[in-house]
Structure 1
Amino acid sequence: MSTIKFKPLETSDIPPLMEIYNHFVMNSTASFHTEPVDITEFTESVVHPNPKYRTYVITLDENLQGYVQVMPHKKKQAYATTGEVTIYLRPECVGKGIGSAAIQHIEAFAKESGFHTLISTICADNKPSIHMFTKNGYTQCAYFREVGFKWGKFLDIATYQKII
């Protein structure tokens, strides 16, 4: 039986995770970046000086598969109990339960860290991600039409929320 594990991000994990992220930049609408990110920009997005926010590396049978993180939703103080969840997995991981395990893991961490609400903002084209979050109890709370533009077309985003 395969074993999914989560470990806090280490500096050595950043290059392979950036490679996973940049795959989605160049091959999907999962990211609204239109050009690959460099190591500095990616590091800033996954390393959080406040320990309340965290990035975990996901492994399956000791092989790196992606990452899950809870990060600030907004910088204003009243949002301190709301976190934004992001998950990026290798494309071949879809449908193996790794994403759901990642959501459950980050929810447990978030609850211990004092979060009340978690949100995830997803491109409306990203049906597998929407399915994963709704399957794990997230409900759509917002929908923004044509707020992104990538590959010659306007893209919608939907925000999903779960009170934990």
Structure 2
Amino acid sequence: MIRDANRDDAGWIADIWNAVIAHTQITFTTAPKTLDDIENLIDTRVMLVLPRQGGFATYGPFRGGPGYAATVEHTILLDPTARGRGKGRALLTALQARARREGYHIMVAGISGINDVAIAFHAAMGFAKVAHMHQVGRKDGVWLDLILMQKQLGATAGADAAPQDTV
């Protein structure tokens, strides 16, 4: 069952995230996430979890400034044992529904260029590739490309419509 994360989830979320940081190049991040980092994200962002099935999804501001207020960027990570079983699809579907309810217009995915699985997943979920930034990241001595994909979540109420202040 997908639900909002709470501080009790911080430990297993950190375990999943830190394994990805330590052992892959699908994130450009090199510093492990502390429990305080995760608790802060739980307190300040939308974060949905599948606790018994090992996965989470979160979103937050895409960029600073009021002109970007209707756009969010998301992260979705699964424990290796949960991959390929529809868990990512369920989490991203729920995350998009939440973002729509909160009035967001665009959801962005920033994906490492070596992560073909995530690129295909997002394409299957209706995201379109909008940018390929060559060698903008570096990890483990390797230059990494960044793929930006986006999905329009729905029309906003008007040109000046702003999302609710929930993120």
Which band: TM-score by shorter chain? 0.7 to 0.9
Instruction: Name the structure 2 match of 1:57.
Output: 49
Write the distance in 2 (CA, Å) between the matches of 1:35 and 1:104.
Answer: 29
Write the distance in 2 (CA, Å) between the matches of 1:145 and 1:82.
Answer: 23
Q: What's the TM-score once normalised by structure 1's chain length?
A: 0.88
Instruction: Name the structure 2 match of 1:17.
Output: 13
Write the distance in 2 (CA, Å) between the matches of 1:68 and 1:47.
Answer: 14
1:149 alignment partner AA: R
Q: What's the TM-score once normalised by structure 2's chain length?
A: 0.86
Taking the TM superposition and a 5 Å limit, the aligned residue runs for 1:72-151 are 72-151=61-140
Write the distance in 2 (CA, Å) between the matches of 1:29 and 1:44.
Answer: 24
2:130 alignment partner AA: C
Structure 1 runs of 4+ with >4 Å offset = none
CA RMSD of aligned residues (A): 1.3
Instruction: Name the structure 2 match of 1:8.
Output: 4
CA deviations on 1:62-103 (whole Å, 9 max, x unpaired) are: x14121112111121111111111101101222111111111
2:43 alignment partner AA: V
Write the distance in 1 (CA, Å) between the matches of 2:32 and 2:50.
Answer: 22
Write the distance in 2 (CA, Å) between the matches of 1:154 and 1:43.
Answer: 31
Instruction: Name the structure 2 match of 1:157.
Output: 146
Residue 108 to residue 136, structure 1, CA distance change in 2 (3 Å): same
Write the distance in 2 (CA, Å) between the matches of 1:7 and 1:78.
Answer: 30
The question of 1:26 aligning with 2:22 is answered yes
Q: 2:21 touches 2:30 (CA, 8 Å); kept in 1?
A: yes
Write the distance in 1 (CA, Å) between the matches of 2:40 and 2:136.
Answer: 24
Percentage of matched positions with identical amino acids:
25
| Secondary structure of 1:35's aligned partner | coil
Instruction: Name the structure 1 match of 2:159.
Output: none
